[in-house]
Structure 1
Amino acid sequence: MRKLFDYLRHHRDAALLSAALVLLIVALFKPTVPVQRNIYSYMFVVDISQSMNVEDATLNGKAVSRIAYTRQTLHDIVSQMPCGTRMSLALFAGVSVADIYAPIEVCANYAAIQDTIDHLDWRMAWSGNSRIRESMLSVARTLRSLPEPAQVVFFTDGEEAPRLHAFNTRDLTNFQGGNGWLLVGVGSGKGTAIPKLDEKNQLIGYWAGDSFAMQPGIAQISEQNLGVRDNNVAAGEGDRYLSKLDEDYMKSLAKEVSGVYVRGDSLHSILSAMKEQKPARRDIAPFEIQDILAALAALLLLAAHFPKHPLAVLKHLRLLRRS
């Protein structure tokens, strides 16, 4: 051992290069150290009602549907989540919210999460209505059913269908459970017709305005089915219902449930708002150190190219310049 030490001491460059090689080999195994840190857990709720098929969002300069924009935004969010973050995915339609799976760690399940996001589609919906206000209670129930605490990030266009009136507006004055929730508005403020699609995703017409009207008779019979849509007839040119992102309503709703509203056209804004949400808990979690090891290896490689006594070299060069 002493001979090895003496050898390395007299062969500085070899020692530095050997140390750098060892650090790089260790970094390849992605080592971790246990540290206490905040654990963030999210439940992403995605509106899959048919108004999310409206093509008034933009990706790479091309018009896309709200649901397609939401899918891409979720892809981007998940790709920027640090390892150790946990997330679940839930769907909203009608008055109900259904979670696909309980929170799972993003790095270990990255491919499965991204694949699930890819398959989010309006045809997964179990109801044609879209009662966002009523869904706040469903979100709270779903959240309580999870095996661990989580923060809510709800992607929707704010479209209430059928439209709200005095007798179908849920009173949320005493609502408890939305503290810190994030409502993300998707779409534009310009009214656009909602496409009516068949089971093969082919356009067959557009939704008519009376499809979103209230039907008092039904409302009195069943609170769960306030209004229905006629799925048989496509609207004509003048009868189309124009859908738009209802920001004023979503801001008001967020305030009522003690949440926060942010517009979804900026990934930076969404991520910034998510950082403001409280962590699910504080616990011991693995912290990956391969980047630190790789950085140290790079410094050792640079040091191997520097002279042993840089000050002496500088002094020698100064004397040569004077002569």
Structure 2
Amino acid sequence: MTAGPRFPRRETLRDGRFWLLCATAFLLAVSFALPSFRSKANGVDLLVVVDITGSMNTRDYRENGHPVSRLEHVKASLRSLLPELPCPARVGLAIFTERQPFLLFEPIDVCGAFAPVEGAIAGLDWRMAWEGDSHIAAGLYRAIDIAHDVNADLVFFTDGQEAPPLPASGGPEFTGERGAVKGLIVGTGGFALSPIPKFDDEGREIGFFGVADVPHENRFGPPPADAEQREGYNPRNAPFGSAAATGTEHLSSLREPYLKSLGDKTGLGYIRLEDASALRKAILAEARPHAVERERPLRPFALGLAFILLVALYGAPPLWTLLKRLRADRISTLAIWRKSRA
């Protein structure tokens, strides 16, 4: 009976490919046991609040040559912004309607949980609104309180259209500390008046809002200074006059001066939404750097090195053989050409 060959053979031990394969197997095995290490870096913590009231359905943006609504443009800009944020970056999301923002989730690490954050942004819809009114100033002030509670900078997207309009006495006063929360008001929409889409109870678009569909004046509180000159004015029974107010509240445009005034009151910056690149620069200019502790796993480094060794083991020899064959063919072709020229 003949004894079988011993393993590994001496020829195998002298073969560099054997040791490359051993090193690859070792790295693959070790990668599952490698721990993570913690590191600190300056990142950004953002609370993104998106206005989902009716005027945000106005289509005064264009993407790929097609008109899109303000809300859809906000969503597209945010989804483009996420991968451009410097890691570590944490992002929370809230929606706004009536006068109260609703927090969907507190800031989470977008670098490690990109898909859930992007999916939540993609799922934003005007049908999530629980009221039709839009009290921008009150909603902004409450959003500042929420941002303070979650220790994040605020990014508030809105067109600034109050519905119903502000009373003659003006909007609510900001009672917080100016500049205590950093961040940005992002104005959305165009400067020209545009029609606001109208939907039925089933969510189907049925046209646009008309003059008679919305209030054009807020008649809470004291009347305006010119009320005495109005038709049918009576200081007791008709302090706003007897005629129904008319105006352009059924149309919508970006209320930029109003949003800038809110920014001055609260200490927030302002930018008009155009593209994700300009938005990113504005956010990073206004945001405070936060010291964030991150876990950095070592497994990707081991797996990457194992992949390089596999490429060297199975990819380099065929490539080297191909290069030698091409060189030999070139030399042979050159020799034939020279012989034909002789």
By how many angstroms is 1:164 displaced?
2.5
Question: What is the rounded CA distance, in whole Å, between the counterparts of 1:266 and 1:24 in structure 2?
Answer: 43
Give the C-alpha shift of residue 115 in structure 1.
2.0
* Pair 1:166-2:168 in alignment: yes
SS for the counterpart of 1:204 is: strand
- In structure 1, the residue matched to 2:279 is 270
Counterpart position of 1:316: none
Kindly report which structure 2 residues correspond to 1:83-98, keeping only aligned pairs within 5 A, or say none. 83-98=87-102
Contact persistence 1:207–1:240 (CA under 8 A): no
Contact 1:43-1:103 within 8 A present in 2 as well? yes
Counterpart of 1:213 in structure 2: which amino acid? H
Question: CA 1:36 to 1:239, structure 2 compared with 1: closer, same or farther past 3 Å?
Answer: closer
Per the alignment, residue 191 of structure 2 pairs with 189
Question: How much has 1:284 moved relative to structure 2?
Answer: 2.8
Task: Tell me the residue number matched to 1:213.
Answer: 216
**1:171 deviation in Å?**
2.4
Q: How does 1:1-323 map to 2 (within 5 A)?
A: 33-146=37-150, 149-172=151-174, 175-176=177-178, 179-209=181-211, 211-216=214-219, 218=220, 241-279=250-288, 281-287=290-296
Q: Between the two proteins, what is the percent identity of the paired residues?
A: 31
Contact 1:57 1:186 in 2 (8 A): no
More moved, 150-159 vs 78-87:
78-87
Gap change, CA 1:23 and 1:188, over 3 Å in 2:
farther
- CA distances 1:272-323 after superposition (whole Å, capped 9, x unpaired): 1121234463143234678988999999999x99xxxxxxxxxxxxxxxxxx
CA contact (8 A) 2:183 2:287 kept: no
Aligned residue pairs: how many? Answer: 284
Asked if 2 retains the 8 angstrom alpha-carbon contact of 1:123 and 1:199, the reply is: no
Read off the aligned partner of 2:93 and give its amino acid letter.
Answer: L
Change (3 A) 1:68 1:14: same
What is the deviation of 1:245? 1.3
**Aligned in 2, Cα 1:215/1:274: closer, same or farther, shift over 3 Å?**
closer
Change in Cα spacing, 1:272 to 1:21, as seen in structure 2 (3 Å) is farther
Which sections of structure 1, spanning at least 5 residues, go unmatched?
Answer: 1-9, 221-237, 306-323
How many angstroms apart in 1 are the aligned matches of 2:61 and 2:303? 41
Alpha-carbon shift at residue 243 of structure 1 (Å): 0.7
Distance 1:180 1:253, change over 3 A: same
How far off its partner does 1:244 sit? Answer: 0.9
CA distance in 1, matches of 2:29, 2:61: 46
TM-score of the aligned structures, taking structure 2 as reference length: 0.67
Matches of 1:107 and 1:29, distance apart in 2: 23
Q: Against the structure 1 CA distance between its residues 27 and 53, is the aligned structure 2 distance closer, same or farther, given a 3 Å change threshold?
A: farther
Q: TM (normalized to structure 1)? A: 0.71
Distance 1:81 1:28 in 2: 30
User: CA distance change for structure 1 residues 293 and 40 in 2, over 3 Å: closer, same or farther?
Assistant: farther
Distance 1:11 1:166, change over 3 A: farther
Kept in 2: contact 1:140–1:177 (CA 8 A): no
Q: Aligned-pair distance for 1:107?
A: 3.5
Q: Gaps spanning 5+ residues in structure 2: where?
A: 1-13, 223-246, 318-342
Counterpart Cα distance in 2 of 1:49 and 1:29: 51
RMSD between aligned residues = 3.9
Alpha carbons of 1:268 and 1:32: their partners in 2 closer, same or farther (altered >3 Å)? farther
Query: SS of the counterpart of 1:172?
Result: coil
SS at match of 1:182: strand
Please list the CA deviations of residues 172-202 of structure 1 after superposition, one character each: whole Å capped at 9, or x if unmatched.
Answer: 3764355422111111112101111124332
